[in-house]
Chains A and B, each alone.
Chain A
């Protein structure tokens, strides 16, 4: 069974508008971390934002925020004021605390295209 699901293979957004990229996850571990990465066409993986399962507040990093809905097991990435440079693949990932492993599970990604 998929532990991380990204249902949007591709998204378009107009420059300067906000966009939400969906991510749902499946775990029975009460302690876990959720990560978002950006992969531009150049190929490097760039860490964007982190949300811990016990964090009371939604994480924010500049124009990135994470809409964390624990009961729904969703961790959607919100990008505000989209820029052309935001065009990239975006991956959601999860790390579970079970057995102390530092293994990460990635979703299949969402390709975002920002339109001028």
Chain B
């Protein structure tokens, strides 16, 4: 499809395990974002990639969290040694950086992560 694709849609894992979440942005979108959304809460910024620039990692909550992006395509968010507090929906978004300020973010459906 033409939208942002995230996988898996659901992930249940035991505390202490590592998890890897994947995001396929819209083709041609140079900006890619990861957010965390706890139940009933707003969006918590995690990390932002823009082309070949160094990513903005200012929102990563701890060194257990890391993310990579291959060129202007797929991104993976990795959470090591998961904790129950990591349970949330992880949303990925991408946006074009052409035509200035008006470009909205396009969101994927998210990965619902549950830590037992």
User: What residues make up the interface of A, taking CB atoms closer than 8 Å to B?
Assistant: 31-33, 35, 37, 43-45, 47, 50, 52-53, 91, 93, 95, 97, 101-109
Contact = CB atoms under 8 A, between A and B. Distances in A.
B48 A103 contact: yes
A106 B106 contact: no
B42 A50 contact: no
Contacts of B104: 35, 37, 47, 50
Interface stretch (B12-20, B60-68, B72-80, B93-101): B93-101
A63 to B, nearest CB: 18
B109 A43 contact: yes
B100 to A, nearest CB: 8
Contacts, number: 56
Closest 4 CB pairs of A and B: A45-B107, A33-B101, A47-B104, A108-B42
B110 A43 contact: yes
Contacts of B109: 43-44
Interface residues of B, number: 24
Given A32-B101, A50-B102, A103 B110 contact: no
Interface of B: 31, 33, 35, 41-43, 45, 48, 50, 56, 89, 91, 93, 95, 97, 101-107, 109-110
Contact of B101 (A31, A43, A103): A31
A41 to B, nearest CB: 11
B98 to A, nearest CB: 11
Contacts of B48: 101-103
Given A91-B42, A95-B101, A102-B31, 12 more contacts: A33-B102, A35-B104, A45-B105, A45-B107, A52-B101, A52-B102, A53-B101, A101-B50, A102-B50, A103-B33, A106-B42, A109-B42
A114 B102 CA distance: 29
A73 to B, nearest CB: 17
B101 to A, nearest CB: 4
10 contacts: A32-B101, A35-B104, A43-B89, A50-B102, A53-B101, A91-B42, A91-B43, A101-B56, A104-B105, A106-B45
Given A91-B42, A103-B45, A108-B42, A45 B101 contact: no
